[in-house]
Amino acid sequence: MTITVNFVGADGTRRTAQAQEGDRLLDVAQALGEPLEGTCEGQMACSTCHVIVDAADFVRLPPAREEEEDMLDLALGATRTSRLACQIWLTAALDGLTVRIPREARNMQGR
């Protein structure tokens, strides 16, 4: 099944990606060229893939594990609906998900 994901850049630019069920949000974002570094490659050892989930979509996500919450404590600009993109696996229930890239996002890989 194809899943639509909407990204809102720090400057307000909106982009849409098509993903497959089971894809990880971080991989989808990076393939689209969004500035999410993902330094730890999804091992939950950093917060460089921090995104802010649209409030209406946040309730559709499974709750964050304690380890993810700990990493979000280190994320610049974290909000009540912040999550790590490496911990969001896309399902049919998340079709149409909208996430915002925080202003503080930095991609040291230069993508």
Successive 10-residue mean pLDDT values, the chain, 111 residues:
96 97 97 94 91 98 96 94 98 98 63 41
**Cα dist. 46→2, 15, 29, 33, 62 in Å?**
29, 25, 17, 20, 20
What's the pLDDT score for residue 111? 41
Are the C-beta atoms of residues 58 and 81 closer than 8 Å to each other? Answer: yes
Model confidence, pTM: 0.91
